[in-house]
Structure 1
Amino acid sequence: MASDHATPSIGEATQADDTRLLIATLRERMGEAIIGQRDVIDRLLIGLLANGNLLVEGLPGLAKTRAIKALAKNLECDFSRIQFTPDLLPSDVTGTEVYYQAETGGEFRFEPGPIFANIVLADEINRAPAKVQAALLEAMEERQVTVAGKTHAMEPLFMVMATQNPIEQEGTYPLPEAQLDRFLMHVNITYPPVDDEVEVIRLVRGEEIAASAEKTDKPKRTGESPISQDTIFQARREIGQIHVSAAMERYMADLVNATRHPASFGSDLPRWIEVGGSPRASLGLDKCARTHAWMNGRDYVDPEDVRMIAPDVLRHRLGLSYEAQGEGVSPDAVVAEIVRQVALP
């Protein structure tokens, strides 16, 4: 499969290796702050490098916010956190026009809201009403916000990472399908293994001791330099050159098409799937598969890249039937059956 694409020059290969090494460094630094969540770290990095937005879901206390903060801390970027609540207003997110009185007269000036950052953590996004979600949707999709008839562009490096609790639904506003589709991936965070949880206890204890030591005016250790934004942009350029064969393109399209016409793929899928994925699902598979291939040191996409990221790209784009919900069939189980049924290229 890899034989039909051009071999990169020595200079290009060296530059790609250097960029990949810096991303690996970022990954390792995040791993020092988040124990036992390597898959989650990889998905956050894939979302960043693929220039997409992520929906991160998990029970309270599973380090959703910590993971996102660890990424922002080790990257040269501006970070903001928005705690979504039922009384939040769109202007609390986007910013608003403020009237200033000067000697020469008054004028309105735009005061940017917390959405104007490189990495934005939208915490408990499903607690905000529809108007706030719509304002966030424009920023995610168009990379701009409109306030008082004026358009304000986001930074070149811009990413929204939204979190939500899957079990507590009282006082929440479920995200509409149109907004869910804007998220490149839906990342699930699960309980860590027992051995990893022991390491978590030790890690947090050590952080508390270190924080206490700093308060006693002990010399503060110089931190490591954050990874520059140029590294992210260079990685994106290299990912754009990853080769995708015609057979792999057809494989990704076939996977998404199976969600729309499940009757052609066994007897269970048509009972489970009510609404299939949009073309954004195919585009998401392509972006994430190329990023996964690049992170693993290859200049071409193979079926394993697609299979690894398929659950994260598809799980929030499937509308399951009442029958599937009644049987306790999860979106991941449906995606696994799709991957099993669709023929490999």
Structure 2
Amino acid sequence: MVGRGHGIRVAVVTGASAGVGRATARLLARRGIAIALLARGRVGLDAAAEEVRVAGSRPLPIEVDMADYEQVAAAGRRIEAELGPVDLWINDAFSSVFAPFQQTGPEEFRRAMEVTYLGYVHGTRVALSQMTPQNRGTIVQVGSALAYRGIPLQAAYCGAKHAIVGFTESLRCELLHERSKVRVTMVHLPAVNTPQFDWLLSRLPRHAEPVPPIYEPEVAARAIVGAAYRPRRREYWVGTSTALTILGNRVVPGLLDRYLARTGYKSQQTDRPADHDRPNNLWHPLDGPGGHDYGAHGDFASRAHSRSPQAWLSRHRLAAAMGVAGTVAGVAAWRRR
């Protein structure tokens, strides 16, 4: 069954043990693509690999700390030896801290940047080492609305996502200069119902939550897989909230500063007091030996949307435009009767 992916035979998903990465791996597996699953947690990796296997594809789970380039490079060599050259590399792994910047230690901030930003850089470098000789392949950078608009209490995450945009734009220019057929695209996500709110380091007084509207990880996965098959677009926006955030920041950034200063603290916390003694995954995976499988979903399913019309329109702009044109033509014809 391997190879039904219309040119994509081997894919890599980083951060594949949980959340958006987990949902994306499941969706790719249904297309018969062999998938290398990269993450730190053994328990989550094994569970993700079983889901890929059940879907009829071949998994290769590898424990990797994306902040360590040598580990990522070794994983790349193993993938090429066991599955073949990589056709699609999806960078999604991250870690972060929920806290005001002044309550985030320098070593914590650095660690979050190394995992989230340098993890993408390392993954991209290894992907290119296999794609450049073939002069083909696609790299998908999973971004966020927060890559263009910073919010309070997430300085490390916002800084890393902003850095990924700058890095990717620079790389894209170089590939165009070289007339390379390797494609790089980005998919910017809204708030997603993933386990991150249960395992990221938090110093907030109340339990962290995503800023509504919230979407299920499958919405993000569909957009990511769609981008993998249409990588000529520079980037995709998922969810109306993402589009409004990015566009609003271009027009009235100062107004958003004041709005987020007033609302950004409350909107990112539930009414439940935070458990500051709970373990976190900044330095070590919580789904390692002795841990449990967190899966793709978080605790906010009752408030999460399973569909995004905006995301569908973003992926199918031509079909949408033709539909609108057809409707307009039909109305015009009706009026002429």
TM-score by length of 2: 0.28
TM-score by length of 1: 0.28
